A and B are shown apart, each in its own frame.
Chain A
Amino acid sequence: MIRHKSLFVCVLALLVFGLSWPAQAEEKKDEFYGSFMIGYRGVDVDGAETKYKEDYNLYDGARLFHFGLKFKPAADSKFKKFFDELKAKVYNFGGDPYESFDLSVAKYGTYKFKFNRRKTNYFYQDAFVGHDFHHYDFDRIQDTASLRIWLTRSTRLYFNFDRYTKMGHSTTSLDISRDEFEFEKPVDESSKEISIGVDLSVKGFYLMLEEKIQDYANDYHYFLPGYSLGEDPGDMTVLSLFNLNQPYDFRSFTHSARFTARPGSNFLMKGSARFSDQDLRLSYSEYQMGTSYLGTDFDYGWSGDGNYDRKMQMYDLDFTYLISNRVAFLGGVRYQNLDQEGVFNVYGAEMEHALDYNTLGLEVGLQYQASAKTGVTLGVRHDKREVNMMEHGMAEQTVTKRTGFFGNLNLKLNKSFKMTADYQYGSYEDPFTPIGPTSSHRARFTAKYKAKQYYMNGSYVYQTTDNDIGDGWKTERSQLNIRTGIANKKVKFSLGYGLIYNKLEGDRNFVFYGSPATWNILYEGRSNLVDVWLRVFASKKWALGGYANYYKNDGSWEIERLVLKPFVEIKFNGGFIGQLAYRYIDFKENLWGNESYTANIFEVSFGYKW
Chain B
Amino acid sequence: MQPINIKPTKKQPLGRWLGLIGLAAFVVVFMHFYPATAAALGDGDINAATCAECHEDLAKAFKGSVHGVIDAKKLAGAAGAAFSCESCHGDLKKHLDEPDAGNIFAFKGTANEASKMCLSCHKDNQGHYFASPHGKASMACTSCHAVHKKANTHPTKSCYSCHTDVFARFKMNEPHKVMECSACHNPHEPATRTRLGGFKQEACFKCHTDKQGPYLYEHMSLTIDGCSACHDVHGSPNRHMLVDQSVAQLCYSCHTVVPGWHSRFTPDSNCVNCHTTIHGSNLSAKFIK
A binds B: yes
What's the Cα separation between A198 and B20 when bound, in Å?
11
- With A132-B270, A173-B274, A559-B173 known to touch, is A498 a contact of B253 (CB < 8 Å)? no
Q: Which residues of B from 190 to 223 have beta carbons under 8 Å from A?
A: 190, 194-199, 207, 209-210, 213-218, 220-221, 223
Q: Map CB proximity to A onto B236-255 as digits: 1 under 8 Å, 0 otherwise.
A: 01111001111001001111
Q: Which stretch, B54-62, B96-104, B130-138, touches the partner chain A?
A: B130-138
Tally inter-chain residue pairs, CB-CB below 8 A. Answer: 392
What's the Cα separation between A319 and B135 when bound, in Å?
12
- With A108-B71, A173-B276, A196-B23 known to touch, is A284 a contact of B253 (CB < 8 Å)? no
In the complex formed, the residue of A with least CB distance to B6 is: A283
Q: Which residues of A from 172 to 190 have beta carbons under 8 Å from B?
A: 172-175, 180, 189
Contact B112 A512 (CB under 8 A): no
In the complex formed, the residue of A with least CB distance to B214 is: A308
Q: Does A414 contact B (CB under 8 A)?
A: no
Interface contacts beyond A285-B6, A432-B224, A556-B245: sample of 10 additional A-B pairs, CB < 8 Å, sorted by A:
A98-B177, A173-B276, A283-B5, A287-B1, A330-B130, A351-B216, A367-B112, A372-B110, A434-B255, A471-B256
Contact A511 B19 (CB under 8 A): no
B-chain residues with CB within 8 Å of residue A318 when the two chains form the complex: 128, 130-131, 190
Q: Which stretch, B42-50, B87-95, B163-171, touches the partner chain A?
A: B163-171
Q: Does A206 contact B (CB under 8 A)?
A: yes
9 contacts between A and B (CB under 8 A): A154-B36, A180-B274, A200-B34, A280-B214, A330-B131, A408-B138, A410-B138, A498-B164, A587-B173
- With A265-B116, A504-B253, A523-B249 known to touch, is A245 a contact of B3 (CB < 8 Å)? yes
Residue among A189, A249, A410 making CB contact with B139, cutoff 8 Å: A410
Residue among B139, B196, B215 making CB contact with A359, cutoff 8 Å: B196
Q: Does A325 contact B (CB under 8 A)?
A: yes
* A-B pairs, 5 with minimum CB distance: A375-B138, A109-B74, A260-B127, A383-B196, A301-B1
Contact A206 B123 (CB under 8 A): yes
Contact A189 B221 (CB under 8 A): no
A-chain residues with CB within 8 Å of residue B245 when the two chains form the complex: 523, 556-557
Contact A312 B199 (CB under 8 A): yes
In the complex formed, the residue of A with least CB distance to B197 is: A385
Contact A408 B4 (CB under 8 A): no
- Range of interface residues on chain A? 35 or more
B-chain residues with CB within 8 Å of residue A308 when the two chains form the complex: 213-214
Contact B23 A198 (CB under 8 A): yes
Contact B74 A198 (CB under 8 A): no
Q: Which residues of A from 507 to 530 have beta carbons under 8 Å from B?
A: 508-514, 517, 519, 521-523, 525, 527, 529
Q: Does A135 contact B (CB under 8 A)?
A: no
Residue among B30, B196, B229 making CB contact with A435, cutoff 8 Å: B229
Q: Which stretch, A232-240, A455-463, A566-574, touches the partner chain B?
A: A455-463
What's the Cα separation between A502 and B241 when bound, in Å?
13
Closest Cβ–Cβ distance, residue B152 to chain A (whole Å):
11
Closest Cβ–Cβ distance, residue B272 to chain A (whole Å):
7
Q: Which residues of A from 192 to 206 have beta carbons under 8 Å from B?
A: 196, 198-203, 206
In the complex formed, the residue of A with least CB distance to B206 is: A162
Contact B216 A433 (CB under 8 A): no
Residue among B70, B131, B169, B218 making CB contact with A270, cutoff 8 Å: B131
Contact A377 B171 (CB under 8 A): no
Contact A109 B19 (CB under 8 A): no
Contact B7 A283 (CB under 8 A): yes
Q: Does A334 contact B (CB under 8 A)?
A: yes
Q: Which stretch, A10-18, A290-298, A336-344, A575-583, touches the partner chain B?
A: A336-344
Q: Does A314 contact B (CB under 8 A)?
A: yes
What's the Cα separation between A391 and B136 when bound, in Å?
41
In the complex formed, the residue of B with least CB distance to A31 is: B64
| Residue from B119, B135, B138, B288 with most neighbouring chain A CB atoms (10 Å) | B138
Q: Does B157 contact A (CB under 8 A)?
A: no
Contact A268 B210 (CB under 8 A): no
Q: Does B156 contact A (CB under 8 A)?
A: no
Q: Map CB proximity to B onto A246-284 as digits: 1 under 8 Å, 0 otherwise.
A: 111101010100101010010010100000001111111
Contact A481 B164 (CB under 8 A): yes
Contact A553 B173 (CB under 8 A): yes
Contact A513 B127 (CB under 8 A): no
What's the Cα separation between A479 and B209 when bound, in Å?
32
Residue among A98, A200, A435 making CB contact with B254, cutoff 8 Å: A435
Contact B225 A432 (CB under 8 A): yes
Contact B168 A282 (CB under 8 A): no
Q: Does A548 contact B (CB under 8 A)?
A: no
- With A153-B74, A402-B196, A458-B164 known to touch, is A279 a contact of B123 (CB < 8 Å)? no
Q: Map CB proximity to B onto A300-316 as digits: 1 under 8 Å, 0 otherwise.
A: 01010110101010101
B-chain residues with CB within 8 Å of residue A459 when the two chains form the complex: 162-165
B-chain residues with CB within 8 Å of residue A132 when the two chains form the complex: 239, 270, 272-273
Majority secondary structure, A binding face? strand
Closest Cβ–Cβ distance, residue A339 to chain B (whole Å):
11
In the complex formed, the residue of A with least CB distance to B269 is: A131
Q: Does B145 contact A (CB under 8 A)?
A: no
B-chain residues with CB within 8 Å of residue A249 when the two chains form the complex: 8, 10
Contact B3 A287 (CB under 8 A): yes
Contact A336 B3 (CB under 8 A): no
- With A153-B36, A400-B197 known to touch, is A527 a contact of B244 (CB < 8 Å)? no
Closest Cβ–Cβ distance, residue B235 to chain A (whole Å):
10
What's the Cα separation between A508 and B163 when bound, in Å?
36
Contact A285 B4 (CB under 8 A): yes
Closest Cβ–Cβ distance, residue A581 to chain B (whole Å):
19
In the complex formed, the residue of A with least CB distance to B220 is: A433
Q: Does B124 contact A (CB under 8 A)?
A: yes
Q: Which stretch, A22-30, A36-44, A209-217, A533-541, touches the partner chain B?
A: A209-217
Q: Does A357 contact B (CB under 8 A)?
A: yes
Residue among B3, B69, B254, B289 making CB contact with A433, cutoff 8 Å: B254
Contact A408 B164 (CB under 8 A): no
Q: Does A436 contact B (CB under 8 A)?
A: yes
Contact A355 B11 (CB under 8 A): no
A-chain residues with CB within 8 Å of residue B165 when the two chains form the complex: 444, 459, 461, 479, 481, 498
In the complex formed, the residue of B with least CB distance to A500 is: B168
In the complex formed, the residue of B with least CB distance to A592 is: B268
Contact A561 B116 (CB under 8 A): no
Residue among A133, A202, A305, A523 making CB contact with B37, cutoff 8 Å: A202
What's the Cα separation between A330 and B36 when bound, in Å?
30
B-chain residues with CB within 8 Å of residue A561 when the two chains form the complex: 173
B-chain residues with CB within 8 Å of residue A305 when the two chains form the complex: 6, 8
What's the Cα separation between A406 and B239 when bound, in Å?
33
Q: Does A191 contact B (CB under 8 A)?
A: yes
Contact B136 A365 (CB under 8 A): yes
What's the Cα separation between A202 and B255 when bound, in Å?
55
Contact A519 B112 (CB under 8 A): no
Closest Cβ–Cβ distance, residue A451 to chain B (whole Å):
15
Closest Cβ–Cβ distance, residue B216 to chain A (whole Å):
5
A-chain residues with CB within 8 Å of residue B159 when the two chains form the complex: none
Closest Cβ–Cβ distance, residue B99 to chain A (whole Å):
21
A-chain residues with CB within 8 Å of residue B123 when the two chains form the complex: 201, 206, 260, 262
Q: Does A157 contact B (CB under 8 A)?
A: yes
Contact B263 A164 (CB under 8 A): no
Residue among A326, A432, A521 making CB contact with B220, cutoff 8 Å: A432
Q: Which residues of A from 145 to 175 have beta carbons under 8 Å from B?
A: 150-155, 157, 164, 172-175
Contact A174 B37 (CB under 8 A): no
- With A152-B31, A155-B31, A498-B168 known to touch, is A191 a contact of B6 (CB < 8 Å)? no
A-chain residues with CB within 8 Å of residue B34 when the two chains form the complex: 154, 200, 202
Contact B164 A355 (CB under 8 A): no
Q: Which residues of A from 454 to 485 have beta carbons under 8 Å from B?
A: 457-459, 461, 470-471, 473, 475, 479, 481, 483
